[in-house]
C-alpha cells in the first residue's frame, strides 16, 4: 500500500505536486499496489457543499482509492486494509 498526495488538477502548470496523470501512470506501472490518494483538490462528492474546484474524481485504475474524512487504514500482521 502506498499513500500519495494529488494536490493539483491536470491543467495547473507545476512539477512540484502530483496531478491525475501522475497518479494514473504510477498506478498502472505498479498494478499490484493499492494506492490511497490524499490532499486532493476534489471536494467530497455528495457533500452538499459548493465545490471549490470540482467534486468529480478523475478516472483512475481500480487500485487507486481516494481518501475521505474518516478513512481508516488498518494493519493486521503484515496485511494492510482500507476501511
**Domain coverage including residue 24:** 2-82
Report how many domains make up the chain: 1
Distance CA 24, CA 75 (A): 25
Measured CA to CA, the distance from residue 58 to residue 23 in angstroms comes to 10
Q: What is the pTM of this model?
A: 0.81
DSSP strands (E only) in the chain: 2-5, 35-38, 64-66, 73-76, 79-82
- Give, for all 83 residues of the chain, the pLDDT tens digit: 899 999 899 999 998 889 999 999 999 999 999 999 998 888 888 888 888 888 888 999 999 998 888 888 899 999 888 88
Q: Where do the H-state alpha helices sit in the chain? A: 20-29
Amino acid at each position: 500500500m502506498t499513500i500519495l498526495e494529488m494536490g493539483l488538477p491536470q491543467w495547473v502548470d507545476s512539477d512540484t505536486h502530483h496531478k491525475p496523470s501522475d497518479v494514473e501512470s504510477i498506478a498502472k506501472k505498479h498494478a499490484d499496489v493499492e494506492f490511497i490518494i490524499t490532499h486532493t483538490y476534489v471536494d467530497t462528492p455528495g457533500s452538499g457543499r459548493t465545490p471549490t474546484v470540482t467534486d468529480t474524481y478523475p478516472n483512475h485504475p481500480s487500485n487507486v482509492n481516494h481518501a475521505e474524512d474518516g478513512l481508516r487504514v488498518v494493519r493486521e500482521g503484515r496485511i494492510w486494509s482500507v476501511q
